[in-house]
Amino acid sequence: MNIVFLGDVSLNGHYNKKYILKEKVFNVDFPNLLPKMYAKGCETEEFHHLIKEDGEIKALVLNYPDYVWVADKKLKVYGIGTVSVDAERRGKGYMIELMNKSLEEMRAEGG
């Protein structure tokens, strides 16, 4: 198992594999459903955490930073999405690892 976290690798070349996994898990056309986040050309790749086995993406989660205003305060928040694990790899704790990494990152970045 190869766990790849934000900033550790560019997803160049993995773009299509990432979306194939998502669509395989959910059976949904995400680029058409949520074009702001998932259409080709959207720059959300750097916000994904991945787990790879033998060079293939087996699990991924999006940890997307954003800001909201509450009263007169600007707060950093995160959205979680693209929660996907290959059916043959479920039960191995991959999503626990990815979510723990996402939570650690949120806390470290003040989210």
Instruction: Evaluate whether 98 touches 49 at the Cβ level (below 8 Å).
Output: yes
pLDDT at position 106 over 70:
yes
Tens digit of each residue's pLDDT (9 = 90 or more) over 70-91: 999 999 999 888 888 888 889 9
53 C-beta neighbours (distance < 10 Å), count: 15
Rounded CA-CA distance 107/111 in Å is 6
DSSP3 helix / strand / coil % (the chain, rounded to 5):
35, 35, 30
Record the pTM.
0.70
Instruction: Evaluate whether 60 touches 38 at the Cβ level (below 8 Å).
Output: no
DSSP character for 87? Answer: G
Question: What is the enclosing helix (H) or strand (E) of 22?
Answer: helix 15-26
Tens digit of each residue's pLDDT (9 = 90 or more) over 13-52: 444 455 556 656 666 677 777 777 777 776 777 788 888 8
Instruction: Provide the residue type at 64 as one letter.
Output: Y
